Chains A and B, each alone.
Chain A
Amino acid sequence: MAVIKPRPNRRGRPARQRLHSRQARFGLLFVVPATLYVAIFQLGPVLYGLVLSFSQYSPLSRSGPQFIGLDNYRGLYGDPEFARAMAITGRYVLQVLPPTVVIALGLALLSNRAFRGVGLFRTAMYVPHVISLTAVSMIWLWIYSDQGLVNEVLAFFGMSEQRWLATESGALNAASAMRVWKALGSNMVLLLAGLQTVPKDLYEAARVDGANAWQQFRAVTLPGLRPMLTYVVAMDIIYLAQGFTEIFVLTQGGPYGSTTTVNYLIYTEAFQYNDMGSASAMAFVLFAFIAGLSIIAIRVGQGRRP
């Protein structure tokens, strides 16, 4: 069979290749703005942060960053304040994540049924997600205040008022309760979307086989939801481990550091004490911590050993 070769141009390049080359140049032109944006405003700061983590640098200083090798990372190794902040961050993730996912799953199962007002129910549950975390935190600051909603309810039932944000044992729990409420809506919607991808005929087959509701949930729903559950857990870990706004508004890291998460500590170190090097090193350790937890969550979600 004869093969028709493209007609070469004057420089010996085929016309199609020339066309592709022109398209490629225009394609390149179209991605330039986004590439510049990502490079300047995302990759650049990350790389600069990495450089700073090996430096001693105060923005007030005129001398600029001074390279000090791994000193910032070595400093963190023996820093009790950082160790405590890591432990608080870990505790915060662990005590918010399970109830958030479990309750959101229950709400998703509920709202996956057809009942009157289901649309309103779904919307109402999603509302907290669209309100900014700062605004939500301000509202909860009032809810937890001495004359706030929670204490008013307690007083109505004849119980004594509590200082929800003022005790070392209670402040992180109070912030966690708020965060669970805030995260429910988005998790519910994602899990609802996951539920609706589970084929109906699998349930029919399970029912034909005599499976009860619990068995259907274990054998059909959970395996069908696994990809979405994995996504939800991984994203929640990423968001929760970076907890800052709610801490800044509700407790400012107190009382006596009991709610100082790593992100809050980074803020203090960088912008209150002007130690950008140490703050950057903390940020990269936190990044490694989040990446590690996320990888474990994804591997467990995929049914592999962590």
Chain B
Amino acid sequence: MRRVRNVPTGVLAGCLAVSLVAACGGDTATDEGGGTLTVWFPGNSEAEMALVNETIVPAFEEETGADVEVTYVDWADMSPKLNTAFAAGTAPDVIGHGVAATADLAHNDRIEDLTPYVEELDAALREDMSAALPGGEISGNQYIIPLMMTLRMIVYSGADFEEAGLDPDAPPQSWEDVKAAAEQLTVREGDKITRAGLVVPSDPIGAQQAFGTFLWSNGGEFLDEDGTTVLMDSSEAVDALEYYVGLYQGSDAVDNTLGATWASSPDAQQPIATSQASMQLSNAGDIGKYQDAAPDRDLRLMMPPAFEGHEPRAFGGPANGLMINKDSSQKELAWDFIAYMIDPDINLDYAEALGALPVHASAVDSDYVSSNPELAKAVEALPANHPNPNVPGWVQMRDAMGQHLERALHGEVGAAEALERATAEVEKIVDAGS
């Protein structure tokens, strides 16, 4: 009979533990050439992946000798994955994210202050990006370098305007006129709206951004400049919210999409493309995609309106950008990668692939922008962009506010009461963070 060898249990357990540790260990970066750089991009756009993986990264690797490992993380998972990666010490060298996340990362000393790097950029390039860079600043310091811009503008159908007896070449310039035009464009069957005059996002995040657009173009603000005083129960805010509520409630309502989430629908299913709406508050950079999806709708962009007596302001600013992990051992290489991404030619390709607005003012002369007069309008309107406050706890503030805005939009509470409650909740968050 074969005898089983009496292998000491401890030795086997030790081998097992070593194997386990080895299996769990990450790969070791080699410093051959320019070193290894890990980069996370937010989103899952196939066009972005194709451009970055097949063109930008190979060219950067060839130029620097570096090895770049790019990971794409779905927007919804970005913050949870990034935060846990920081806790585990495995966060990437270069972090792509939305501007809303920047303040918390900077507040916790997780990202590098990029001000010295930006100061070394060519002055002409800095000037060319002057509409974009301030959106990535916190307390005067640059923490995120914008890659593309966003701006809420009204997309309207020239065909519907003509049908309703409105001049598509002379669109409304104030929010009051927008509402009047929307009433004229709204088609009803009995009490039911069959074609909305104007649709505005009403999901929690979309509602906060739309409300911001109304608020800022009425002279109001969410917080003061220091981010320490909540201003969202001002008379400007109440008027702005009442206007917003009036789009959905009452006999002269013009929007029948309350509660529906259409902003993330495919281009061909957007209300403005399907003729379910004649005007739609949208990301201006998407105009080209909407035009391709509905060529017979004569889709155009309206310059940002304002309430009477105020300057046009619309939610916008950097849509996403790149940061450097404070603990990265490859900070210089990380900055080289960011600098490469904001090269005007590279960035234009990137913005075009994503159908977004580029961060350089000079892009207005590019074929991508100049070939579409509506896109040129969007670039021209970029100085009217107004970003959300870049303060720690902003995501929590935004969510707290979003719930009260939703209640007001559904007519469950008045505008003033909703804003008072929102102010009380946001004040608690501000106090907790100070």
A: residues with CB less than 8 A from B are: 22, 25-26, 28-29, 32-33, 36, 58-62, 146, 160, 163, 165-168, 252, 254-257, 268, 271-274
> Contact at B83–A60, with CB atoms within 8 Å?
yes
Q: Whose C-beta in chain B lies nearest to the C-beta of A268? A: B399
Given contacts A59-B84, A62-B109, contact A273 B396 (CB under 8 A): yes
- Quote the shortest CB–CB distance from A129 to chain B (angstroms): 26
> Contact at B12–A272, with CB atoms within 8 Å?
no
Q: Whose C-beta in chain A lies nearest to the C-beta of B259? A: A166
Given the complex, which residues of B lie within 8 Å of A268, measured CB to CB? 399
- Quote the shortest CB–CB distance from A48 to chain B (angstroms): 12
Given contacts A146-B260, A160-B192, A273-B395, contact A256 B406 (CB under 8 A): yes
> Contact at B260–A33, with CB atoms within 8 Å?
no
- Give Cα distance in the complex from A268 to B76, angstroms: 12
- Quote the shortest CB–CB distance from A190 to chain B (angstroms): 34
Given the complex, which residues of B lie within 8 Å of A146, measured CB to CB? 260
Is B295 positioned at the interface, with any CB of A under 8 Å from its CB? no
- Quote the shortest CB–CB distance from B78 to chain A (angstroms): 10
- Give Cα distance in the complex from A25 to B8, angstroms: 9
> Contact at B406–A254, with CB atoms within 8 Å?
yes
Q: Whose C-beta in chain A lies nearest to the C-beta of B326? A: A62
3 A-B pairs with the lowest CB-CB distances in the bound complex, closest first: A166-B259, A59-B87, A271-B80
B: residues with CB less than 8 A from A are: 4, 6, 9, 12-13, 16-17, 20, 79-80, 83-84, 86-87, 104-105, 108-110, 192, 203-204, 258-260, 393, 395-396, 399, 403-404, 406-407, 410, 412
> Contact at B108–A254, with CB atoms within 8 Å?
no
Given the complex, which residues of B lie within 8 Å of A271, measured CB to CB? 79-80, 83
> Contact at B396–A272, with CB atoms within 8 Å?
yes
> Contact at A256–B403, with CB atoms within 8 Å?
yes
> Contact at A272–B20, with CB atoms within 8 Å?
no
What are 25 A-B residue pairs whose CB atoms fall within 8 Å in the complex?
A26-B9, A29-B12, A29-B13, A36-B20, A58-B83, A58-B108, A59-B87, A60-B86, A60-B87, A60-B105, A62-B109, A163-B259, A166-B258, A166-B260, A167-B259, A168-B412, A254-B203, A254-B403, A255-B259, A255-B406, A272-B80, A272-B395, A272-B399, A273-B396, A274-B83
- Give Cα distance in the complex from A160 to B256, angstroms: 13
- Give Cα distance in the complex from A28 to B108, angstroms: 45
> Contact at B86–A59, with CB atoms within 8 Å?
yes
Q: Whose C-beta in chain B lies nearest to the C-beta of A60? A: B108
- Give Cα distance in the complex from A168 to B258, angstroms: 13
- Give Cα distance in the complex from A163 to B258, angstroms: 9
- Quote the shortest CB–CB distance from B402 to chain A (angstroms): 8
Most A-side CB within 10 Å, residue of B4, B403, B410:
B403
Partner of A257 from the list B13, B108, B403, B410 (CB cut-off 8 Å) is B403
Given the complex, which residues of A lie within 8 Å of B17, measured CB to CB? 36
- Quote the shortest CB–CB distance from B400 to chain A (angstroms): 10
> Contact at A62–B259, with CB atoms within 8 Å?
no
Partner of B104 from the list A32, A167, A255, A274 (CB cut-off 8 Å) is A274
Q: Whose C-beta in chain A lies nearest to the C-beta of B403? A: A256
Given the complex, which residues of B lie within 8 Å of A274, measured CB to CB? 83, 104
Given the complex, which residues of B lie within 8 Å of A163, measured CB to CB? 258-260
- Give Cα distance in the complex from A257 to B399, angstroms: 10
- Give Cα distance in the complex from A32 to B412, angstroms: 59
Most B-side CB within 10 Å, residue of A33, A163, A165, A256:
A256
- Quote the shortest CB–CB distance from B128 to chain A (angstroms): 33
Q: Whose C-beta in chain A lies nearest to the C-beta of B260? A: A146
> Contact at B407–A61, with CB atoms within 8 Å?
no
Given the complex, which residues of B lie within 8 Å of A272, measured CB to CB? 79-80, 395-396, 399
Most B-side CB within 10 Å, residue of A254, A255, A271, A273:
A255
> Contact at B83–A59, with CB atoms within 8 Å?
yes
- Give Cα distance in the complex from A104 to B204, angstroms: 37
- Give Cα distance in the complex from A162 to B110, angstroms: 46
- Quote the shortest CB–CB distance from A235 to chain B (angstroms): 28
Q: Whose C-beta in chain B lies nearest to the C-beta of A161? A: B192
Given the complex, which residues of A lie within 8 Å of B192, measured CB to CB? 160
- Give Cα distance in the complex from A273 to B404, angstroms: 18
- Give Cα distance in the complex from A22 to B109, angstroms: 55
- Give Cα distance in the complex from A62 to B395, angstroms: 20
Q: Whose C-beta in chain A lies nearest to the C-beta of B405? A: A256
Given the complex, which residues of B lie within 8 Å of A29, measured CB to CB? 9, 12-13
> Contact at B407–A256, with CB atoms within 8 Å?
yes
- Quote the shortest CB–CB distance from A255 to chain B (angstroms): 6
- Give Cα distance in the complex from A220 to B259, angstroms: 50
- Give Cα distance in the complex from A25 to B9, angstroms: 7
Given contacts A28-B9, A166-B258, A167-B259, list 16 more A-B pairs with CB under 8 A. Answer: A32-B12, A32-B13, A36-B20, A58-B83, A60-B87, A60-B110, A160-B192, A165-B259, A252-B204, A254-B203, A256-B403, A256-B410, A271-B80, A271-B83, A273-B393, A274-B83
Partner of A32 from the list B16, B260, B395, B406 (CB cut-off 8 Å) is B16
- Give Cα distance in the complex from A32 to B204, angstroms: 49
- Give Cα distance in the complex from A91 to B399, angstroms: 24
Given the complex, which residues of A lie within 8 Å of B393, measured CB to CB? 273
- Give Cα distance in the complex from A273 to B79, angstroms: 10
- Quote the shortest CB–CB distance from B318 to chain A (angstroms): 21
Given the complex, which residues of A lie within 8 Å of B105, measured CB to CB? 60
Given the complex, which residues of B lie within 8 Å of A61, measured CB to CB? 108
Q: Whose C-beta in chain A lies nearest to the C-beta of B83? A: A59
Given the complex, which residues of A lie within 8 Å of B406, measured CB to CB? 254-256
- Quote the shortest CB–CB distance from B73 to chain A (angstroms): 13
Given the complex, which residues of B lie within 8 Å of A167, measured CB to CB? 259, 410
Partner of A255 from the list B9, B87, B396, B410 (CB cut-off 8 Å) is B410
- Give Cα distance in the complex from A255 to B302, angstroms: 31
Given the complex, which residues of A lie within 8 Å of B204, measured CB to CB? 252, 254
Q: Whose C-beta in chain B lies nearest to the C-beta of A254? A: B204
- Give Cα distance in the complex from A254 to B410, angstroms: 13
Given the complex, which residues of A lie within 8 Å of B13, measured CB to CB? 29, 32
Given the complex, which residues of A lie within 8 Å of B86, measured CB to CB? 59-60
Partner of A60 from the list B9, B104, B260, B412 (CB cut-off 8 Å) is B104
Given contacts A59-B86, A163-B259, contact A33 B108 (CB under 8 A): no
- Give Cα distance in the complex from A268 to B83, angstroms: 13
- Quote the shortest CB–CB distance from A38 to chain B (angstroms): 14
- Give Cα distance in the complex from A274 to B258, angstroms: 31
> Contact at B83–A22, with CB atoms within 8 Å?
no
- Give Cα distance in the complex from A256 to B20, angstroms: 46
Given the complex, which residues of A lie within 8 Å of B80, measured CB to CB? 271-272
Q: Whose C-beta in chain B lies nearest to the C-beta of A267? A: B80
Q: Whose C-beta in chain B lies nearest to the C-beta of A141? A: B261
- Quote the shortest CB–CB distance from A257 to chain B (angstroms): 6
Given the complex, which residues of A lie within 8 Å of B6, measured CB to CB? 22
